[in-house]
Every structure is written in C-alpha cells, then in structure tokens.
C-alpha cells in the first residue's frame, strides 16, 4: 500500500474494510494524504456486506455539482 501511495501521490484515499483493517490503514495513510473510510456492515473476509450508498456519498464529498450556482454568489463564467 505504501509503495502505491508514494508512486501515485494521491490527494485523498477512500478505504473500505473491516473496522480493524480500516483503522490500521487509515492511520497509516493519514500520514501521506487525506483519508476517509467506510466500514463493512458485516465483519470478516467472506460474505461481507457494505453500504454502497455510503461509499458513493463519501466519494462525492468535496465535489461541487457542475450544474449548481457558484458558492461565492457570483456569476458563472461563460
């Protein structure tokens, strides 16, 4: 994981894992970039479940909808 992060140098990462692995991974990654995490709903490595809606919500954080008005109240440039 560290080798990939150092090579790519992302601004942020989103982890999906069981609580234990997610906690460990987020602590490690937080030294290199911003990190968000979504825990599995069912712990374990087999037949696990995750809230896909929560993953999508986390992925959208900080992304402004292109159709929305500018947040500063000014006009959009044409």
The pLDDT of residue 76: 46
pLDDT of residue 61: 87
C-alpha 23/C-alpha 1 separation (Å) is: 14
**Mean pLDDT within 1-30:** 90
Domain chopping of the chain, boundaries: 2-60
Question: Residue 3 carries which DSSP code?
Answer: H
Distance of alpha carbon 31 from alpha carbon 60, whole angstroms = 22
Q: What is the pLDDT of residue 68?
A: 55
Per-residue pLDDT tens over the stretch 19-74: 999 999 999 999 888 999 999 998 777 888 999 999 999 999 877 654 454 544 44
Neighbour-count burial for 14-36, b at 16+ CB within 10 Å, e otherwise: bbbbeeebbeebbeebeeeeebb
Q: Check pLDDT > 70 for residue 10.
A: yes
């Amino acid at each position: 994981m560290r080798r990939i992060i150092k090579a790519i140098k992302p601004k942020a990462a989103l982890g999906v894992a069981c609580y234990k692995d997610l906690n460990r991974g987020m602590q490690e990654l937080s030294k290199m970039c911003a990190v968000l995490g979504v825990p599995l709903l069912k712990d374990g490595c087999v037949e696990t479940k995750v809230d896909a809606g929560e993953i999508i919500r986390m992925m959208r954080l900080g992304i402004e909808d292109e159709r929305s008005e500018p947040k500063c109240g000014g006009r959009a440039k044409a």
